[in-house]
Structure 1
Amino acid sequence: MGTWTRQQKIVAGVIAGIVVLVGLSVLLWPDDPAPPAARERDYREVTACLLTDQTGLEGDLAKPAWAGMQEASLANRVQVQYLAIAGPQTADNGVTFFNTLGTQKCSVIVAAGPVPVASMVQGYKQFPGVRFVAVGGDPGGAPLAVVNTGSSDSIRSGVKDAVAKV
């Protein structure tokens, strides 16, 4: 086994070259970039819920109320969600949607508009321990926090403050 044939030398050279290339590739290959930042938020066990009329988040009262809820969510790690009343825009129909939010363990329920507020007034007693906030409408003496509806900014700010307290 003293001398190598020309063919053995070529094979050994090719193998050595492959080993060197693999080694250099491993050493010089760029590191994986840092994983992207997590996109999900770490929420507290608190949910703020918005009840709207059939216009959803596009309503004159609901839009700034939702903006305030989102600001409170970012600042206080509160989950937010909304539900629009579908079908007839009456308190009797709306209380079904209000009850849905109540059974979803909402810590605070914000009602934006006359029908959602009337629905809240009709159903709030079923959910002790939940905070209730009325934006527009007539709370009719019910123990609800009432937000000033003088401007979009006052609605946004009032709802933000109410949600931040939970």
Structure 2
Amino acid sequence: MRWLAGGALVLVLAVVGLVVWLSDDGVDLRARVYTQSSACLLTPAAGVSDPAAAPVWAGMQQASLATNGKVSFLEVDGRQTAENAATYLATLAQGDCDLVLVAGAGPVAALEQSSASFPQIHFVSVGGSKAQANVSVVADSDANAVSAQVKSLVESALRSGE
């Protein structure tokens, strides 16, 4: 009787193993497949933990979940001046970003000085005051409102870039 129970167990395990093996198409079900669209954030040195950047990053992540577009950020290292931040801004503008967002004094000042150098790129200035042809401004100071506005802008950009 023991050998019959052992045989039945081996048969059940073999069937389960065969079903799993035949149904496995090599795709990790936890993996996230992104579109080619991307939005990039230029932050002060503290990165996305900076008070000016945190609500922006939260809105970008929500937009990424809704669209499967890629989001990333780049920190301005060193002095937080327009001149120093302009180099980092140029890196994002010349990269693969469909939309470039800036938050914090240095990044915003860099954008206000150099956005005209990148007319093909659309920018979002969070906390800035100078809207231009290729620059949208999110001027709200409430973190939840900033996140909501950023989410909307990023979703729109990521969907149009698909």
Q: TM-score, normalised by structure 2?
A: 0.79
How has the CA–CA distance of structure 1 residues 94 and 164 changed in structure 2, closer, same or farther, with 3 Å as cutoff?
same
Cα displacement string for residues 75-130 of structure 1 (whole angstroms, at most 9, x for unaligned residues): 01110000010011111100111111112220000101221111122222333332
Are 2:58 and 1:67 equivalent residues in the alignment?
A: yes
Q: Distance in 2 between matches of 1:131 and 1:73?
A: 18
What residue in structure 1 maps to residue 11 of structure 2?
27
| Unpaired segments ≥5 residues, structure 1 | 1-17
Runs of 4+ off more than 4 Å:
20-26, 33-37
Following the alignment from structure 2 to structure 1, what is the Cα–Cα distance between the partners of residues 143 and 152? 14
Instruction: Look up the match of 2:155.
Output: 164
Distance 2:126 2:140 in 1: 7
Q: Is the 8 A contact 1:61 1:155 kept in 2?
A: no
RMSD between superposed Cα atoms in Å: 2.5
8 Å CA contact 1:118–1:138 kept in 2: the answer is no
Q: For structure 1, which segment, 98-107 or 80-89, has the greater mean C-alpha deviation from structure 2 after superposition? A: 98-107
Distance 2:80 2:139 in 1: 23
Which residue is 2:160 aligned to?
Answer: none
Determine what percentage of the aligned residue pairs are the same residue: 35
Report the Cα distance in structure 2 between the residues aligned to 1:155 and 1:42, rounded to whole angstroms. 27
In structure 2, how many angstroms separate the alpha carbons of the residues matched to 1:69 and 1:150?
Answer: 17
Superposed displacement of residue 149, structure 1: 2.2
Amino acid at match of 1:154: A
Q: Structure 1: how far apart are the matches of 2:147 and 2:73?
A: 15
Separation in 1, partners of 2:30, 2:100? 26
- Separation in 1 of the partners of 2:129 and 2:121? 19
Task: Select the residue among 82, 85, 89 that pairs with 1:94.
Answer: 85
1:51 to 25, 39, 42: 42
1:38 aligns with 2:29: yes
Letter in 1 for 2:31: E
Which of 71, 88, 109 lines up with 2:100 in the alignment? 109
Q: Under a length normalisation based on structure 1, what TM-score does the superposition of the two structures give?
A: 0.77
Partner of 2:125: 134
Cα offset, 1:63, TM superposition: 0.4
